[in-house]
Amino acid sequence: MRHSNILRVSLLSALCLTALSSGASAASFYLQEQSVSGLGTAFAGAAADTPDASTVFYNPAGIVNLRRPEVLVGGSLLLPRADFDDTGSTYTSPAALGGATGAVAGDDSGNPFDPEIVPHLYGVMPLNERLAVGLGISAPFGLADKYDSDFTGRYNSTDSQLKTIDIQPTIGANVLPWLNIGGGVNIQYVYANLKNKVPAPTIGGANDPANDGSVKLAGDDWSVGYNIGLQFLPTDMTKIGLTYRSSINHRLEGDIDVLNPTSPLPIPGFVSGAELTGSGSAKLSTPDIASLAISQQVDEKWTLLGSVNWYGWSKFDNIPVTSATFGNSQTEQSYENTWGLALGARYRMNDQWLLKGGIQFDQTPTVNFDRSTRIPDGNRFWVAAGATYSFTPDIDLDLAAAFVNVSEEKIEVTDTYDSGTVVTRGDSDGSVGILGASLKYKF
């Protein structure tokens, strides 16, 4: 088996994952859960009216509304679930060995996800009545999944881990009685650790998981983007927010470890069980995101909220890979731009309790012919509820819960190795349960 071809395909496959997360509770790999107060309304109206320091993330213009310094710390516990039902995955042996096709040996997946926590920390400091600064530390992208070693989709993916840290210094100003503006810099770190199996070459089209090889890639990168926001205040009871978060262009530098599958068959360049290491890099662009939101206070108790979000996923149309060891390649992703819609409400029960609820629809950017087991993604429908409890005028506790249903979608993805070609076919669906808690302290 020629190491260069195996590694090139595997590097492409693995680095593609750095932007893929079926465990994420927004479409593809974006994690919306950067505020527990926002989670309670399914993030409806977040760009217009996030009444605590987490507005740093959703609309930096809103920090000027906070009249006292405050610190907010919290997190969301994600409880993702996914099911993959094989519908005829096949392995085709190399032409030199006859090109026979047979079923991939193995089983359907169990749930590949463990519970994960998405933390956040924000602080805001008013400088005067018209100017404020803030800082946010969040994790807006991420995943962690692991399939069984005999999973029928193992030649597409087995283990996947993506972590991000986003540090956002922010400034906001009230420039007119009816207009706030704000902006921030996003300093973002990405780390990925990814694995998949490689099939052993055979003559008859059958394969055995015990003879599989493997590929492991680990890589990271720091890069910078920005976000800007406007908040319009046409009346005392109406807020309108408009925000834009830029795409961030990463170049992930990766180390690759390969273990060749075991097979006695004579293929030029193939060494049964051989190990090889190398390096490579891949360009990865996160989506730019725009949001238009409104908050309308109806009376002293009720506030209605709404949002329309746009995601520039088409920037993730392909991933070019550069490797001095294995050569240069490019893989197509074919992501499409998407829209999301959220509606919610808050109800002020008394001075201590604020109740809230919301729904959201979020499109998937993936398409059938490029959707993979690394992201068995689908359209997502949210139902959420939450409450804010004020212990004192200085201390608030936010609690929220949400359920996200992920629609059933088809997967039919092809992975080509020197040892043969695998087409992974299946139906996948899933869901995400979310529990959130945060504590706010005003100085």
Residue 178, pLDDT score = 96
Distance of alpha carbon 418 from alpha carbon 2, whole angstroms = 7
pLDDT at 382 over 50: yes
Task: Please say whether the beta carbons of 143 and 201 come within 8 A.
Answer: no
Residue 419, pLDDT score = 86
Residue 252, pLDDT score = 86
Residue 418, pLDDT score = 83
pLDDT single digits (tens) 47-97: 999 999 999 999 999 999 999 999 999 999 999 998 889 999 999 988 888
Residue 21, pLDDT score = 38
pLDDT at 409 over 50: yes
pLDDT single digits (tens) 194-207: 889 999 888 877 77
Q: What's the number of domains the chain is made of?
A: 1
Element (H, E) at 229: strand 213-235
Which pLDDT band holds residue 415 (cuts at 50, 70, 90)?
confident
pLDDT at 126 over 70: yes
Please report, for the domain that includes residue 90, its CATH number: 2.40.160.60
| Mean of pLDDT over the chain | 87
Report the candidate in 337, 344, 350, 426 with the shortest Cα–Cα distance to residue 388.
350
- Tally of CA atoms within 13 A in the half-sphere of 288 that contains its CB: 12
Distance of alpha carbon 255 from alpha carbon 2, whole angstroms = 18
Which pLDDT band holds residue 138 (cuts at 50, 70, 90)?
very high
Report the candidate in 113, 120, 133 with the shortest Cα–Cα distance to residue 38.
120
Which of the two residues, 362 and 149, has the higher pLDDT score?
Answer: 362
This prediction's pTM: 0.88
- Three-state SS for 333? coil
Q: How many CB atoms lie within 10 A of CB 298?
A: 10
Which among 5-14, 46-55, 315-324 has the top mean pLDDT? 46-55
User: In the predicted model, what is the mean pLDDT of residues 362-389?
Assistant: 86
Quote the tokens at residue 280: 């490579």
Task: Please say whether the beta carbons of 428 and 11 come within 8 A.
Answer: no
Residue 194, pLDDT score = 81
Query: What is the extent of the structural domain holding 262?
Result: 3-442
Residue 327, pLDDT score = 61
pLDDT at 324 over 80: no
Element (H, E) at 143: strand 142-146
User: In the predicted model, what is the mean pLDDT of residues 364-372?
Assistant: 76
Which pLDDT band holds residue 6 (cuts at 50, 70, 90)?
very low
Which of the two residues, 19 and 184, has the higher pLDDT score?
Answer: 184
Distance of alpha carbon 186 from alpha carbon 121, whole angstroms = 14
Distance of alpha carbon 124 from alpha carbon 234, whole angstroms = 24
User: In the predicted model, what is the mean pLDDT of residues 25-50?
Assistant: 89
Residue 7, pLDDT score = 40
Which pLDDT band holds residue 373 (cuts at 50, 70, 90)?
confident
List, in order, residues 6 or more apart from 250 with CB less than 8 Å away.
18, 188, 190, 221, 223, 283, 284, 285, 286
DSSP state of 64: G
Helices assigned H by DSSP within 24-121: 36-39, 55-58
User: In the predicted model, what is the mean pLDDT of residues 373-393?
Assistant: 91
Distance of alpha carbon 354 from alpha carbon 389, whole angstroms = 7
Task: Please say whether the beta carbons of 413 and 373 come within 8 A.
Answer: yes
pLDDT > 90 fraction of the chain, expressed in percent and rounded: 56
Residue 355, pLDDT score = 98
pLDDT at 26 over 60: no
pLDDT single digits (tens) 287-305: 999 999 999 999 999 999 9
Strands 353-362 and 131-138: unpaired
Quote the tokens at residue 437: 């808690």
Quote the tokens at residue 174: 């009230």
